[in-house]
Chains A and B, each alone.
Chain A
Amino acid sequence: MHNVLFFKATLLFYFLGTALFLLNLWDNRKDQGHTKQISWPQKFALFSTGAGFICHTIALGIRLKEGDYVPLANLHEALSFFSWAIVLAFFWVEIKYQLYILGSFILPLAFLSLISVTALPSESPSLNPTLMNAWFGLHTILSILGIVAFTIAFLAGIIYLIQDRFLKSKQLNTLYAKLPSLDMLDRWNKQAILMGFPLLTLGIISGALWSQYTLGTLWGKNNSKQALSLGIWIFYLLVLHGRINIGWRAKKAARLAIIGFIGVIFIFFTLA
């Protein structure tokens, strides 16, 4: 049961990381948000998040080794993997753009999804092990990575609306100074959806193939989960079309990313 130990360590580190990242939001020192220099509490937050991520990776690895299936069979495991993937996404963005402030939004989310895991049954996968195969693993991994991308788009949308509000109301406080430019947030939003869409597409295809292999039908007639996924897929397709061809950018794109995410939450909880 080493994985439980690592899992608890992860929780502790993420809790610390969340606290430090949230503290950073209220830090009144002048910080333009794009300075490369970071203060020691910020370094500590990054360190804590990194340590948590390593523990989490080890816990997931042990789980993968112990069970003879991809550990994504129930909501518990899906949430855990989601939390891992979104922290990974954070590190990616942080290294690429030095957008430290994103941590203040991602870490609480990662921590919350991980702590909700503890409230759910950790054992007894809800799926019959006979249904587990490579298609299933591929389907869930792709789908969750897609969801992570849409979550990033959602966060970019939320931060966009906050920053937009600051600029419109002319409240140029320290939080305003820390948040990135509207342009950057809009580009994140676009990038994230551009990445999330093919992942969702492949997730749906692999899900259909899995259904074909295990249940014998490519597309269940009364499968609400598949219908919902298709609905969301069409929604994001329209969003991308609108952005590229009609000019649904900026504030409109931010709102759309938030609306899309509400749908995504629904699929997530029908995953299990």
Chain B
Amino acid sequence: MNIVIVGLNHRTASLDIRERLSISEEKMGDALYKLTSDDMIEEGLILSTCNRVEVCAVVKETHRGFNAIKNFLATQDTGLSLEAIAPSLYIHSSSKAIEHLYRVASSLDSMIVGEPQILGQLKDAFDHAILHKTTGIILNKAFKKAISVAKRVRTETKIAESAVSISFAAVELAKKIFGNLNKKSVLLIGAGQMAELAARHFVGNGVQSITITNRSYERAVDLASSFNGSPVKFEDFPSQMVKSDIVLCSSGAPHYLINAEMIKEVIALRKNRPIFFIDISVPRNIDPEINILDNVFLYDIDDLQHSVETNIESRKKEALKAEEIITEEIVTFAHWFKSLDAVPMIVALKDRAEAIRQTELEKISGKLGDLTESQKKALDGLTASIVNKLLHSPLTVLKKEVNSTNGNMILETTRKLFELEELLSQTQEEKKKG
């Protein structure tokens, strides 16, 4: 039994693959059922955002489990073969999987490190899995822990501050260009979450109108209604720039959407009114060349991040701190996870019983006075036999059921009933020392 993750993200997969593999909320239930219907998979959970698809599962056997998940991904209705997706996939197991999960939850793996949305998306994914009963004791524990680790990272480091301050920095820059933002208008190209966050900041700072465009017009309409803005067709965005003072771009397109030729025309039509471009996309959607043009100001995500904190050293320090927290938390999870293994559990249970027997024997031998050698033997035999008889059926059930679907539940229950927590971690430490 092992905990595994198979996934792809903005670094490993193109937008096209990410989009095709992403699983919408409506289809999540079916996907979860399909995933867990495989005999190899005991528990399953799917996290699908615009930047990543992660399948987290508890599998009976690591290697075959990986294949089961890969097959699940390939048989989704994506039009992509396993060969087409395989190069974009990464796989993690055991503590590496937990580490990956914690890093994702803490936003250390995000396109914009520290962005706050991922935790909410992770919670939603967890809720879906709970609703469809596809998680069990292990994933429940892992995800609850991941959420608390993310919260710890957020409160104990300044990682999250920098992402929030990126939007803040964009607004401050806009104020240095336009002064008052009241009569300015914002154009949002693409529906990336960071751009959405920045757009909300602009609205909060009094921007008058907001226009939204997206490749999927429905999504633009959706977003526009939540902003009280107006949607425009994706083909029309170049002409819309003439009317927009601030252009926020995060479309996820793999190439430049905006180039210098285009902007020269826009600036002429704007009669030299300055225009501020914020490119939050990775890879970039705006040709950096346009920054050379008069009255055009272009900031990409790195520029904004630098403007927030020019001290790279302290930013690195915060990331290190976060990694430390994660390492620490992995250790505690690993302890718990190992306790679910049947062998140490059986050993611990036997040890515990033996320890009790020994103490009770010592106590009674004082009261009984001098005993003959054969009497001592009989007493010893009697107590040992009681203990063994008592433990016989729990141990047999443990050995037999550990690989069944209820196995983890039984292990966990045993651990709790006999208060084996302490004993199990002791034996592990002894093993390490040994």
Please tell me which one of the listed residues B179, B270, B272, B307 contacts residue A251 in the complex, with CB atoms under 8 A apart.
Answer: B272
- In the complex, what residues of B have CB within 8 A of residue A246's CB? 271
Q: Which B residues contact A (CB, under 8 angstroms)?
A: 173, 175-180, 270-274, 291, 294-295, 297, 299, 303, 306-307
Please state if B295 and A250 are interface contacts (CB–CB under 8 Å): yes
Write the A149-179 contact mask toward B (1 if CB under 8 angstroms, else 0).
0000000000000010001101010001000
Please state if B272 and A249 are interface contacts (CB–CB under 8 Å): yes
Please tell me which one of the listed residues B271, B299, B303 contacts residue A249 in the complex, with CB atoms under 8 A apart.
Answer: B271
In chain A, positions 77-122 with a C-beta closer than 8 Å to chain B are none
Within 8 Å of chain B (Cβ to Cβ): is A59?
A: no
Please state if B271 and A170 are interface contacts (CB–CB under 8 Å): no
In chain A, positions 161-199 with a C-beta closer than 8 Å to chain B are 163, 167-168, 170, 172, 176, 180-184, 187
- In the complex, what residues of B have CB within 8 A of residue A247's CB? 270-273
23 pairs across A/B with beta carbons < 8 Å? A163-B176, A167-B173, A167-B176, A167-B177, A168-B297, A170-B299, A170-B303, A170-B306, A182-B178, A182-B274, A183-B177, A183-B274, A184-B179, A246-B271, A247-B270, A247-B273, A249-B273, A250-B273, A250-B274, A251-B294, A251-B295, A252-B272, A252-B294
Closest to B307 in A: A172
Given contacts A181-B177, A182-B176, A183-B178, contact A167 B272 (CB under 8 A): no
Within 8 Å of chain B (Cβ to Cβ): is A248?
A: yes
Add 4 more A-B contacts to A167-B176, A181-B175, A247-B270 (CB < 8 A): A182-B179, A249-B273, A250-B274, A251-B294
Bound-state Cα–Cα, A181 to B173, Å: 9
Closest to B177 in A: A182
Looking at the assembled complex, report how far the CB atom of A195 sits from the nearest CB atom of chain B, in whole angstroms.
Answer: 20
Closest to A32 in B: B172
- In the complex, what residues of A have CB within 8 A of residue B178's CB? 181-183
Looking at the assembled complex, report how far the CB atom of B190 sits from the nearest CB atom of chain A, in whole angstroms.
Answer: 23
Bound-state Cα–Cα, A249 to B272, Å: 6
Bound-state Cα–Cα, A170 to B178, Å: 16
- In the complex, what residues of A have CB within 8 A of residue B273's CB? 247, 249-250
Q: What DSSP secondary structure best describes chain B's contact surface?
A: mixed
- In the complex, what residues of A have CB within 8 A of residue B176's CB? 163, 167, 176, 181-182
Bound-state Cα–Cα, A111 to B180, Å: 33
Please state if A248 and B175 are interface contacts (CB–CB under 8 Å): no
Closest to B268 in A: A247
Looking at the assembled complex, report how far the CB atom of B434 sits from the nearest CB atom of chain A, in whole angstroms.
Answer: 57
Looking at the assembled complex, report how far the CB atom of A219 sits from the nearest CB atom of chain B, in whole angstroms.
Answer: 37
Looking at the assembled complex, report how far the CB atom of B121 sits from the nearest CB atom of chain A, in whole angstroms.
Answer: 31
Closest to B173 in A: A167
Closest to B176 in A: A181
In chain A, positions 214-272 with a C-beta closer than 8 Å to chain B are 246-252
Please tell me which one of the listed residues A176, A183, A249, A252 contacts residue B179 in the complex, with CB atoms under 8 A apart.
Answer: A183
Looking at the assembled complex, report how far the CB atom of A142 sits from the nearest CB atom of chain B, in whole angstroms.
Answer: 31
Looking at the assembled complex, report how far the CB atom of B98 sits from the nearest CB atom of chain A, in whole angstroms.
Answer: 39
Bound-state Cα–Cα, A176 to B295, Å: 17
Looking at the assembled complex, report how far the CB atom of A190 sits from the nearest CB atom of chain B, in whole angstroms.
Answer: 13
Please tell me which one of the listed residues B271, B291, B307 contacts residue A168 in the complex, with CB atoms under 8 A apart.
Answer: B291
Bound-state Cα–Cα, A247 to B270, Å: 8
Q: Which 7 A-B pairs have the closest CB atoms?
A: A247-B271, A183-B179, A181-B179, A251-B294, A250-B295, A172-B307, A247-B272
Please state if B272 and A250 are interface contacts (CB–CB under 8 Å): yes
Interface centre among B176, B180, B271, B299 (most CB of A within 10 A): B176
Please state if A167 and B271 are interface contacts (CB–CB under 8 Å): no
- In the complex, what residues of B have CB within 8 A of residue A248's CB? 272
Closest to A246 in B: B271
Interface centre among B178, B179, B180, B303 (most CB of A within 10 A): B179
Looking at the assembled complex, report how far the CB atom of B404 sits from the nearest CB atom of chain A, in whole angstroms.
Answer: 61
Bound-state Cα–Cα, A170 to B308, Å: 11
Bound-state Cα–Cα, A250 to B273, Å: 7
- In the complex, what residues of B have CB within 8 A of residue A176's CB? 176
- In the complex, what residues of B have CB within 8 A of residue A252's CB? 272, 294
Closest to A182 in B: B177
Closest to B274 in A: A250
Looking at the assembled complex, report how far the CB atom of A255 sits from the nearest CB atom of chain B, in whole angstroms.
Answer: 9
Please state if B177 and A170 are interface contacts (CB–CB under 8 Å): no
- In the complex, what residues of B have CB within 8 A of residue A167's CB? 173, 176-177, 297
- In the complex, what residues of B have CB within 8 A of residue A163's CB? 176
Closest to B184 in A: A183
- In the complex, what residues of B have CB within 8 A of residue A250's CB? 272-274, 294-295
Looking at the assembled complex, report how far the CB atom of A241 sits from the nearest CB atom of chain B, in whole angstroms.
Answer: 13
Bound-state Cα–Cα, A168 to B179, Å: 17
- In the complex, what residues of A have CB within 8 A of residue B294's CB? 250-252
Bound-state Cα–Cα, A249 to B299, Å: 22
Bound-state Cα–Cα, A176 to B173, Å: 10
- In the complex, what residues of A have CB within 8 A of residue B272's CB? 247-252
Interface centre among A163, A168, A170 (most CB of B within 10 A): A170
- In the complex, what residues of B have CB within 8 A of residue A249's CB? 271-273
Bound-state Cα–Cα, A163 to B175, Å: 12
Looking at the assembled complex, report how far the CB atom of A236 sits from the nearest CB atom of chain B, in whole angstroms.
Answer: 18
Bound-state Cα–Cα, A186 to B321, Å: 46
Closest to B295 in A: A250
Closest to A181 in B: B179
Bound-state Cα–Cα, A180 to B176, Å: 7
- In the complex, what residues of B have CB within 8 A of residue A170's CB? 299, 303, 306-307
Bound-state Cα–Cα, A66 to B5, Å: 94
Looking at the assembled complex, report how far the CB atom of A253 sits from the nearest CB atom of chain B, in whole angstroms.
Answer: 8
Bound-state Cα–Cα, A182 to B418, Å: 72
Closest to B302 in A: A170
- In the complex, what residues of A have CB within 8 A of residue B297's CB? 167-168
Bound-state Cα–Cα, A214 to B305, Å: 68
Bound-state Cα–Cα, A176 to B177, Å: 11
Bound-state Cα–Cα, A86 to B291, Å: 36
Looking at the assembled complex, report how far the CB atom of B276 sits from the nearest CB atom of chain A, in whole angstroms.
Answer: 9
- In the complex, what residues of B have CB within 8 A of residue A184's CB? 179
Bound-state Cα–Cα, A246 to B297, Å: 22
Closest to A180 in B: B179
- In the complex, what residues of A have CB within 8 A of residue B179's CB? 180-184, 187
Bound-state Cα–Cα, A183 to B178, Å: 5
Closest to A173 in B: B310
Bound-state Cα–Cα, A248 to B177, Å: 17
